[in-house]
Structure 1
């Protein structure tokens, strides 16, 4: 298996990883932390996909995709924190005034999990953020130790996966997901 990570600029590939089976379904499309809550609630069904399609044409793209032999198998949402709901979060602390970027969602397609794709995505997100001038990349994974995390709740990532690619624990948060505390982890991209 040879995983390649690229900017998520091809909408058809993004749709394969985070889109719904039915085009009329109203699912997250990884928009809940990217856009204001009011707009998130207003966008229904196909309008959500159309919004993501516009994001894929923008620079920077809305994240990165992992490919296995040309097939899209994973997604990571990454963007400047100032453009996300984390900019206004009361549960995820702000540590300083640096224009940090956030990595808040990792999704691996069924049949491809457990193969190290999340590590490739996190590393790809680091390179993507660095290439766009980010001084620091933050993530907000669960601190689950050795406990299993339900697949639907694993989208925020797990502490160990971020530690493996050079992130360090920077702060505790008051956020809890699936019974596990979330922490703020950082990777310095300067130098």
Structure 2
């Protein structure tokens, strides 16, 4: 990940609490996330979509809203990065919060106006679009 960040192929945000790193979100372009790439002819194109692929929150800081704060930052900065689309991939089975919610729970994205694009066996694809500078659900 360090090499991907240095090369510019990965992008993310760190959250700090009292000067200490407390959380992370990977907000790279979908084109750089091999697990989620759609491919040639995708609509929207892979290079035009931010892929929220994972969160990492240190145990003492879980349950204090850092994931939501990080997602709000991704949404706020997307237009400045030239992106009008943000996608997320929460697991469908949310029974083990500590291990399975590293992609964020579905409820997080619902609360931020994401809409279901596709429900796959293990996870769902959710998306929001920034229309005229105001984030709205895709559709």
- TM value normalised by structure 1: 0.59
CA distance in 1, matches of 2:118, 2:126: 7
| Cα deviation 1:9-49 (Å, max 9, x = unaligned) | xxxxxxxxxxxxxxxxxxxxxx4xxxxxxxxxxxxxxxxxx
Kept after mapping to 2: 8 A contact 1:104/1:140: yes
Ranked by relative contact order (alpha carbons within 8 Å, sequence separation 6 or more), the top structure is: 1
What is the aligned length? 128
Partner of 1:185: 126
More strand by share: 2
Kept after mapping to 1: 8 A contact 2:114/2:128: yes
* Structure 1 residue 59, shift from structure 2 partner: 5.0
CA distance in 2, matches of 1:69, 1:56: 24
The one of 82, 87, 90 aligned to 2:37 = 87
**Structure 1: gaps spanning 5 or more residues:** 1-30, 32-51, 177-181
1:38-117 equivalences in 2 (<5 Å) = 52=2, 54-57=3-6, 59=8, 62-85=11-34, 86-87=36-37, 96-98=43-45, 99-117=48-66
Kept after mapping to 1: 8 A contact 2:90/2:103: yes
Structure of larger gyration radius: 1
- TM value normalised by structure 2: 0.78
